[in-house]
Amino acid sequence: MNSTSIEDTPAPLRGQCLCGAVRYQVEDAFRYAFNCHCSQCRRATGAAFKPFAGIERAHLRLEQGQGDVMVYGNTDAAHDVHCGCCGSLLYSVVREGAYVHVTLGTLVDAPRIRPQGHLFVGSKAPWHEITDALPQYDEFPS
């Protein structure tokens, strides 16, 4: 007998861009979550860091606006997926295309996971001070 019940399966989370043209669903089964302070994430978001959660790519699906997405980067390698209308960064495809890093700010529903630390703190914005007690890493922890 299977001990997993329908109540154990979390409902998918909804996400969308600023203008609502692109909407997605992702399972609430993220493997990790961090605040990334690298210069690329800061430029992509216009913020001091990018809060993101990682999950296997197969667990995210676009529900609306497939024709409205804009890809920045190499579609055969790591790349970012933005709304082509408002420019919102929705997620990044990483780890040889196997995972996506969903930008937590685009989620409509709250995920169970919370950021577990700060990444690339050696290149953080000099004007930003990290004030929480989360672990700080110079690179992605293994």
Phi/psi at 41 (nearest 5 deg)?
A: -70, -35
Q: List the chain pLDDT tens, one digit each, 142 residues.
A: 455 555 667 789 999 999 999 999 999 999 999 999 999 999 999 999 999 999 999 999 999 999 999 999 988 889 999 999 999 999 999 999 999 999 999 999 999 999 999 999 999 999 999 999 999 999 988 7
In order of 23, 25, 85, 131, the CA distances from 63 in angstroms are: 5, 7, 16, 37
Q: Which class is 12-123 in CATH?
A: mainly beta
Residues 6 or more apart whose Cβ sits within 8 Å of residue 131? none
